[in-house]
Amino acid sequence: MLYVKDLHKSYEVGKNKYAVLKGIDFHVAQGEFVAVMGPSGSGKTTLLNCISCYIPFEQGSITVGGTHLAGQNEETLARIRNTKLGFVFQDFMLLDGLSIRENILIPRIVQGEVKKDAEDLVSQLAEIFGITHILDKYPAEISGGEKQRAAVARSLINHPMVILADEPTGNLDSKSSRTVIESFGNAKEKMNATIFMVTHDSFAASFCDRVILLKDGVIYRQLEKGSSRSEFQDRLLDTIKEMAN
């Protein structure tokens, strides 16, 4: 579904060039929930921005559902973002002047296609994520956890190939964080959603099928769950401590 091969990305500051990603290789299968973790400066955000088509990369390839992202024009990239990728951001990115129902429909509104099937899907997603009661409310009237669950629903309205989540629990308390991460689990189980999440939160990552750990622009290790959530979190914490040494 998502293939990243020999990915290199660097930034130039004045006369200096800084390599951020140094030959990243991995893939995410259909229906898999994968997290990326690593210390500040490890390349997590840069990696996500490359996959999101927001920044170019110098070498390697990124393929989503058989489509190569490199070399596409802006119009094509915009279409890929709206139809093949779903986005969930740390700060929710809901529009205050629209109801929650309308916010969830935004990707369809952009396409100019708000038909009955889209309305029906909103109802289905709202039921899955427990937000039916807030569909006619506005962002200012609901909690942070409810906002993020609405954002997860919005990310699925176009049946994307991959959901890209950027620190989705970063602005939430522990109870709301768990609810949101469980929403991703529901999306995976009930809609076969494929999710690629950048996070610093080992608790959130422990719900994933696999965690990719980055250090200094390379993959330090990949851990597969294969155990209970709490045991997986312990392994993650041990590996993070090991990386720091």
What's the chain's Rg over C-alpha atoms? 18
Q: Which residue shows structure tokens 């200012």?
A: 140
Mean pLDDT over 28-46 rounds to 93
DSSP state of 218: E
Q: What is the DSSP letter of 134?
A: G
Of the pLDDT bands very low, low, confident and very high (cuts 50, 70, 90), residue 170 is: confident
- Read off the pLDDT of residues 154-165 as tens digits, 9 standing for 90 and up: 999 988 999 999
The reported pTM is: 0.91
Q: Mark out the alpha helices in the chain (DSSP H runs).
A: 44-51, 74-83, 100-104, 106-111, 116-128, 144-156, 174-191, 202-205, 229-244
Question: Does the pLDDT of residue 113 top 80, yes or no?
Answer: no
- In Å, what is the CA distance from 157 to each residue of 56, 115, 119, 126, 166? 27, 12, 10, 11, 18
How many CA atoms lie less than 13 Å away from 18 in the CB half-sphere?
Answer: 11
> For 180-214, how does the pLDDT look when each residue is reduced to its tens digit (9 = 90+)?
999 999 999 999 999 999 999 999 999 999 999 99
Distances (CA, A) of 110 to 46, 75, 148, 150, 165: 26, 13, 20, 17, 20
Longest dimension (CA), the chain: 56
Question: Per-residue confidence at 116, pLDDT binned at 50, 70, 90?
Answer: confident
